[in-house]
Structure 1
Amino acid sequence: MTTDPQVSVYPHALVYIDREGAGSPNCRRCDPFCYVEQAVTLNRSLLALGLPRLTIATNVPEEVARHLACLGHDRHPRLVSINPSTVLPKSTRFYSAHFKLDLLEQAGRSLPNGALLMVLDTDMIPMRSLDTDLLQRCRATGVGAFDISDQEFSAYGEARAITDLEMVAGRRLANPRWFGGELLLATTGFIEELVPCARECFLRYIWSMPDLNHQGDEVFISAALNLLCERGYQVIDVGAHRLVGRHWSGNPHRDLRWFRGCSMLHLPGCKELLERQARRDTFSAARLWNQLVLMHTFNRLLWPLRRRMHARHREPLYQKHASQDQAQPT
């Protein structure tokens, strides 16, 4: 399982199936097995580049195996069983993603020394081989994560996001950063430090949930990574090296050509496209990229209209808050 004689990488993705749990707001399909289809496309794209085969960690391995058999492809992802230990309300947004903490702990136990566990979201696709030098740096520090503070702070407000991080961390953070949940690289040694810290953050996350603006694994994993940074650990920002890029089709904040240079793309708004690829007889990265370009071009034309509609929707709220502020006694 190597991309280089000196660096072993073990790609894993979580497919946690619970029909009663709240799904992702970014997923339109009600069938939770759509994540299996996304994982199939991820696996086929990994293999097409000569990268290691994907391992799916799931709580229902027999059901996932039957779904894979229906797709009829060769070289399916490997399957391992995950034993959930975390408990949270099933109405929690991104319910299934919270069990990545169990994936980290259980997969980390079987990881060879010196290897890197690569935890991926299913709605991802590799575009090019992984940077060996970057992998070596991540192995040396123990961890590589995707710093998306600029995106998170600008989208939700810096103060709002930092308040959530510090509430879950249980203390004021010197240099609060928000890490995306789509990719994490970690050695066994770092996972042994991360998991206990993340479990403490998870408990505060559950207690604080009514007061939090965010829900999902990114909150408590980011809080734990921040705490470990303050203990002296160095986290390699893999986004700065373009190991991964998060692409929303139609969003003009970054030229599509920038994403072409990324090793892996996270496509949270293109899940159905990835699912359709899994049902094809053959996989073509070039065909998939061309479809991404078409979707991006079309959605970019609609972007100004969507922004205008969003502004109109929010305008009554601004007026309401303004009138309330004026009514407050001075």
Structure 2
Amino acid sequence: MNLFPCTLVYVDVDANPGPNSTNRDPLSYVSQAVCLNNSLRQLGMPTLTIMTNAPALVAQRLAKMLPQNRPAVATLTATIELPKNTPFYAAHFKLDLMDQMAGSLPVDSMLLLLDADMVALLPLDSELIERCAEAGLGVFDISDQVFPAYGSERVVADLEIVADRRLRNPRWYGGEFLLATPDSLRTLVPRARASYARYLSESERLKHHGDEAFISAALNSLADEGQVLIEVGAYQAVGRHWAGNNYRDLRWFRCCSFVHLPGSKALLEKEARFVEFVPDRFWRHMRVAHLRGRMRHAAKRIVRMLSGARLAMLSAHALRGLKG
């Protein structure tokens, strides 16, 4: 089974940048994709394809690179419409990307859909790829991160609103990684378009916005109907890392095939300046960013503690004044 690594770079200067993006350059995701492609090349994996609605602009940004080092560029035909102030606006167009891939991928290939702000550190396990090929879909379950952060009741409610049904075992799937055969895409895309329509019409009731909401709803519905989903996170095929976060020991990510760094886009853009991706060099930079993040988190906790103590002291003084 051949893999087709692909990422979305949707360019719209009038849309709000992603909530995790600090670079206002609309083509900054191209630099991140270059880093991702370099990391894929280092492992001997197929070239990354950038699917974009602005192929000329993306090709211009890549023009100074050696041809053999460049990601491939393909035109995305965008069909969906939504308000440009929608959070994670660009990510919604993954639905159009998946639709195009469903009709163009060879039967012996699998779409490996990746976010641009990722790196490949290790090859994907061949047995895992085989399992995903047999099932049709390999997905990244991040319920253990999303449910505690937002409350399981709220997350499940959003999923069931978008799915328009009660779900047997609601799960939230990360949008940064998807392995899918053409047949499974042809099953998933129509269901995801129906979920997207409800997502759009019910957007004011929802706490969660972005492609993960309606793709997760579609995947849950298919799972309830018997579709087997291979959960790739358990195999450490992918991990989502936030600098300074104690959710997992940093060393755990060193054993992942792919690491998603949504809060470290600047680090990836700097790494893209190197001709070759060197895992040990990148890992050192990632560790430094993680330690700095830990320090920022610690400083914020101290500020909150001091602020709380000051408020308590002022309240005590005010109470004594009322009693006096």
Judge conservation of contact 1:71–1:279 (CA < 8 Å) in 2: no
- Structure 2 residue aligned with 1:139, among 133, 137, 155? 133
- 2:264 aligned partner, one-letter code: C
Give the Cα separation in 2 of the matches to 1:298 and 1:281.
26
Moved more, 68-77 or 148-157: 68-77
From the CA coordinates, give the structure whose radius of gyration is larger. Answer: 2
Instruction: Show the counterpart of 2:146.
Output: 152
- Structure 1 residue aligned with 2:194, among 200, 206, 211? 200
Judge conservation of contact 1:114–1:139 (CA < 8 Å) in 2: no
Instruction: Show the counterpart of 2:267.
Output: 273
3-state DSSP class of the match of 1:117? strand
Judge conservation of contact 1:23–1:94 (CA < 8 Å) in 2: yes
Taking structure 1 as reference, are residues 202 and 61 closer, same or farther at Cα in structure 2, changes over 3 Å only?
A: same
Q: Which runs of 5+ in 1 are unaligned?
A: 1-6, 316-330
- Structure 2 residue aligned with 1:253, among 242, 247, 266? 247
Is 1:44 the counterpart of 2:49? The answer is no
Instruction: Show the counterpart of 1:326.
Output: none
Instruction: Show the counterpart of 1:22.
Output: 16
Moved more, 295-304 or 92-101: 295-304
Give the Cα separation in 2 of the matches to 1:150 and 1:267.
18
CA apart distance, 1:111 = 1.0
Give the Cα separation in 2 of the matches to 1:39 and 1:203.
29
Is 1:105 the counterpart of 2:99? The answer is yes
- 1:15 aligned partner, one-letter code: V
Taking structure 1 as reference, are residues 239 and 310 closer, same or farther at Cα in structure 2, changes over 3 Å only?
A: farther
Is 1:75 the counterpart of 2:69? The answer is yes
CA apart distance, 1:310 = 6.3
3-state DSSP class of the match of 2:177? strand
Q: Which runs of 5+ in 2 are unaligned?
A: 310-324
CA apart distance, 1:73 = 6.7
Judge conservation of contact 1:84–1:102 (CA < 8 Å) in 2: yes
Instruction: Show the counterpart of 1:324.
Output: none
CA apart distance, 1:75 = 2.0
Give the Cα separation in 1 of the matches to 2:307 and 2:163.
34
Give the Cα separation in 2 of the matches to 1:280 and 1:49.
16
Instruction: Show the counterpart of 2:155.
Output: 161
- Number of equivalent positions: 309
Give the Cα separation in 1 of the matches to 2:51 and 2:307.
40
**Any residues of structure 2 matched to 1:179-328 within 5 Å, and which?**
179-307=173-301, 309=303
CA apart distance, 1:308 = 5.1
Give the Cα separation in 1 of the matches to 2:308 and 2:265.
28
Deviations 1:149-178 (A, max 9, x none): 010001111111111101100111110000
3-state DSSP class of the match of 1:13? strand
3-state DSSP class of the match of 1:240? helix
Deviations 1:24-82 (A, max 9, x none): 11000111100000000000100001111100000010110001114557420111101
CA apart distance, 1:286 = 1.4
Give the Cα separation in 2 of the matches to 1:144 and 1:18.
30
Instruction: Show the counterpart of 1:178.
Output: 172
Give the Cα separation in 2 of the matches to 1:96 and 1:217.
9
Give the Cα separation in 2 of the matches to 1:314 and 1:73.
57
Taking structure 1 as reference, are residues 204 and 134 closer, same or farther at Cα in structure 2, changes over 3 Å only?
A: same
- Structure 1 residue aligned with 2:80, among 80, 86, 105? 86
Judge conservation of contact 2:136–2:180 (CA < 8 Å) in 1: yes
Q: Given the two structures, how large is their TM-score scaled by the length of structure 1?
A: 0.90
Q: Identity across aligned pairs (percent)?
A: 48
Taking structure 1 as reference, are residues 314 and 131 closer, same or farther at Cα in structure 2, changes over 3 Å only?
A: farther
Judge conservation of contact 2:101–2:182 (CA < 8 Å) in 1: no
Give the Cα separation in 1 of the matches to 2:86 and 2:260.
22
Give the Cα separation in 1 of the matches to 2:304 and 2:208.
20
Instruction: Show the counterpart of 2:319.
Output: none
Judge conservation of contact 1:120–1:183 (CA < 8 Å) in 2: yes
Give the Cα separation in 2 of the matches to 1:94 and 1:298.
26
